[in-house]
Amino acid sequence: MPPKSADNKRVLLVNPNEMQPPVAPIGLDYIAGSLEQAGFSVDLIDLCFASSFKEALDAYFRGHDPIAIGVTLRNTDDCYYLSQAFILPRIKEIIDYIKVKTNRPLILGGVGFSVMPEPILAYLEVDLGIWGDGERALPALVKRMAAGEEPFDIPGLIYRKAGGSSGQTGGGPLASGGYHCNPPELAELLDLPLPRREAVDNPRYLREGGMGGVETKRGCEQSCIYCADPLAKGRRYRLRPPSIVADEIEVLLGQGVDHLHLCDSEFNLPYGHALGVCEEIIRRGLGERLAWYAYLSPVPFTEELALLMVKAGCQGINFGVDHAADRMLRNLGRSFTAADIRETAAVCHRLGIPFMYDLLLGGPGENKSSLTTAISFMKEIEPSRVGISAGIRIYPGTRLAEIALADIEKGTANVRGAINPAFFAPAFYVSHALGDELYPFIASLVKKDGRFFFGGGEEAAANYNYNANSMLMEAIKKGYRGAFWDILRRLAEEGRVIKV
Ligand code: B12
């Protein structure tokens, strides 16, 4: 029997991220909106809430035959040294099962995917992916598929080159060998239409995950040696107009989603954009109805910005400082100093803003002296919380990957995990001077200071991994809302509120 033709106007999106507490796949919400605007009906299977992925897929494919299936890969692993949970094998099970249910083309995308797209396509045996933004490229690709036209010039498209195997796309140039990557079209200003935010069940993510998310820009111009963000989002800031960000917040508020985490890697870069977003939220009077959290760089951070953020509803700041020893900050490619970090603490203390510092310890050049500096500096400037990640995930394509390979050659590296092929599965850099002493030594410095989230400590409560974090899941069930670190903080010290 000839295969029946697919529903040319229907696209299925799948979220295979099963980590708990759940974090909304806002990337899928954005691309579902743009597919709808392009005239497609969009179905979403959110496996985060499914008891069995097979049952969910069976039920769907009994009644539908979409023209294509888009799968988002936000995470490839939990990037956490102590657990090193690699979720691509599980995602492969899901993808393999989708292939059992349909022979329509699969398309991969998402931030985790965009960090190392070709090895992921090869591992999952998929022919098509889109690097970076999906809003324009995915509808363009699916339109071509619906019209029976070749899609090979679409910006950002990655496709299997001619010559062979998986056959999912029905032959033609998409057949085997290596992959071809089209250069992406990175629009300078993200003036995309307002996302409707209706595909993902954002109210459920609020109930079960404590918050929703919204993005104010994409890309990063910093040079941190370990970071995958520029690889996955581009090396230039691309801004969303503050009016669109505020419109989107109003859409979420209309759904009852009043706790948000900004999905920018560092909200205050560029500085003027952060001011503009806060001003627009305040101008519309949304600050009183909203509680939000953000990642920030310690520089540029001023009392002017902090006041605006609080007026706009900010309830807490997570500064990705990485370290507090100037030598290590330089080694990690950071452009600020310990004095700048001290200034952020002074501003937050003056305004009563809960704030946390994220430390990334064990990198190139780390030793006992720099660890001692970092921990004692934190204790001295008294942030509300300090998150410690020790052992740094090495992503292919970063400066850290080059340093790790050179150190392996010299015999001076401690790389834990899978080095080959090219740091695909989790691999972590641990400074040669520390090796196995990294965790015990940090534990001896932190002692029983409850402000530190440190998985190597004696306290179970110190677990600083948001994957399979049962304490957080319990708290959210009981009604706690907000950033995970702030929920954990409030659990420890009930009753503190922000006063402006
Ligand atoms: C904000 C954030 C958080 C917040 C989330 C808050 C919230 N309410 O959303 C918090 C702090 C909770 C968090 C937690 C974690 N996070 Co986080 N997080 C981020 C961050 C900064 C933004 C994610 C985001 O929403 N981006 C905005 C959306 C719109 O972008 P997007 O998903 O990429 O989607 C776009 C494109 O990729 C594309 N696209 C997306 N899907 C698809 C699908 C198809 C088919 C196509 C064609 C295109 C496409 O189109 C979209 C629109 O253009 C990213 C880094 C980054 N800059 O993205 C890290 C990041 C995703 N997190 C990461 C990690 C590791 C985690 C944790 C596992 C950490 C931990 N151990 O606790 C947990 C996991 C939680 C969970 N349950 O999944 C890593 C993942 C790396 C990897 N390779 O796996 C990242 C990349 C940071 C890093 N280390 O580099 N995170």
pLDDT per residue as tens digits for the range 310-338: 999 999 999 999 999 999 999 999 999 99
Q: What is the CATH number of the domain that holds 162?
A: 3.40.50.280
pLDDT of residue 497 exceeding 80, the answer is no
Terminal-residue alpha carbon distance, the chain: 70
Average pLDDT, integer, range 140-154 = 96
| Between 355 and 163, the higher pLDDT residue | 355
Pairing of strands 355-361, 314-322: parallel
Nearest-CA residue for atom 28 of ligand 1 = 27
Structure tokens of 263? Answer: 């999905």
User: Which atom of ligand 1 is closest in space to residue 215's alpha carbon?
Assistant: 27
Query: What CA–CA distance (Å, rounded) separates 30 from 214?
Result: 10
Residue 491: phi and psi, rounded to 5, are: -55, -40
Together in a domain, 93 and 206: no
* Placement of tokens 């809960």 in the chain: 354
Query: What CA–CA distance (Å, rounded) separates 127 from 152?
Result: 12
Together in a domain, 177 and 251: no
Q: What is the CATH number of the domain that holds 296?
A: 3.80.30.20
At 458 the pLDDT is 53
Q: Is residue 102 part of a domain?
A: yes
Q: Is residue 302 part of a domain?
A: yes
Query: What CA–CA distance (Å, rounded) separates 474 from 418?
Result: 34
Distance 75 CA to ligand 1 centre (A): 7
pLDDT per position as a tens digit, 381-419: 999 999 999 999 999 999 999 999 999 888 887 899 888
Confirm or reject: Cβ of 219 under 6 Å from ligand 1.
Answer: no
Q: Is residue 399 part of a domain?
A: no
Among 181, 211, 244, the domain-final residue is: 181
At 4 the pLDDT is 66
Together in a domain, 33 and 157: yes
Q: Is residue 121 part of a domain?
A: yes
Instruction: Describe the crossing of helices 338-351 and 368-381 by its angle, rounded to 10 degrees.
Output: 20
Nearest to 312 by CA among 343, 347, 284: 284
Nearest to 350 by CA among 396, 301, 406, 390: 301
Q: Is residue 236 part of a domain?
A: yes
Residues, the chain: 500
At 1 the pLDDT is 44
Contact predicate 220/265, CB 8 Å: yes
Together in a domain, 245 and 172: no
Contact predicate 240/274, CB 8 Å: no
The range of the structural domain enclosing residue 65 comes to 7-181
Which region, left, alpha or beta, applies to residue 318 given φ > 0 means left and ψ of -120 to 50 means alpha? beta
Pairing of strands 452-453, 385-390: parallel
At 453 the pLDDT is 93
Coil vs helix vs strand at 62:
helix
Residue 171 pLDDT level (bands cut at 50, 70, 90): very low
Together in a domain, 147 and 264: no
Distance 24 CA to ligand 1 centre (A): 9
At 421 the pLDDT is 86
Nearest-CA residue for atom 50 of ligand 1 = 134
Residue 463 pLDDT level (bands cut at 50, 70, 90): low
Confirm or reject: Cβ of 465 under 6 Å from ligand 1.
Answer: yes
Q: Is residue 352 part of a domain?
A: yes
Among 152, 181, 210, the domain-final residue is: 181
User: Which atom of ligand 1 is closest in space to residue 135's alpha carbon?
Assistant: 53
pLDDT of residue 164 exceeding 60, the answer is no
Together in a domain, 110 and 46: yes
Confirm or reject: Cβ of 156 under 6 Å from ligand 1.
Answer: no
Average pLDDT, integer, range 213-221 = 97
CB atoms within 10 A of CB 416: 18
Give 187's Cβ-side CA count (13 Å radius): 13
Residue 168 pLDDT level (bands cut at 50, 70, 90): very low
pLDDT per position as a tens digit, 223-280: 999 999 999 999 999 999 999 999 999 999 999 999 999 999 999 999 999 999 999 9
Distance 355 CA to ligand 1 centre (A): 21
User: Which atom of ligand 1 is closest in space to residue 24's alpha carbon?
Assistant: 9
CA of residue 121 relative to chain centroid, distance: 19
Query: What CA–CA distance (Å, rounded) separates 88 from 102?
Result: 21
Average pLDDT, integer, range 198-226 = 97
pLDDT of residue 45 exceeding 60, the answer is yes
Distance 332 CA to ligand 1 centre (A): 22
What is the tally of structural domains in the chain? 2
Together in a domain, 16 and 77: yes
Residue 48: phi and psi, rounded to 5, are: -60, -30
Q: Is residue 456 part of a domain?
A: yes
pTM of the complete model = 0.95
For residue 99, the cross-strand partners are none
Together in a domain, 167 and 209: no
Together in a domain, 471 and 384: yes
Together in a domain, 71 and 111: yes
pLDDT of residue 81 exceeding 80, the answer is yes
Together in a domain, 334 and 475: yes
What strands lie across the sheet with 427-430, from one edge to the other?
A: 392-393, 427-430, 414-417
Together in a domain, 469 and 354: yes
At 424 the pLDDT is 95
Q: Among the residues of 125-228, which ranges form H helices?
A: 137-147, 202-209
At 363 the pLDDT is 97
Residue 332: phi and psi, rounded to 5, are: -85, 0
Mean pLDDT (the chain, rounded): 92
Distance 351 CA to ligand 1 centre (A): 30
Q: Is residue 405 part of a domain?
A: no
Nearest-CA residue for atom 88 of ligand 1 = 228
pLDDT of residue 23 exceeding 70, the answer is yes
CA of residue 369 relative to chain centroid, distance: 32
Contact predicate 391/430, CB 8 Å: yes
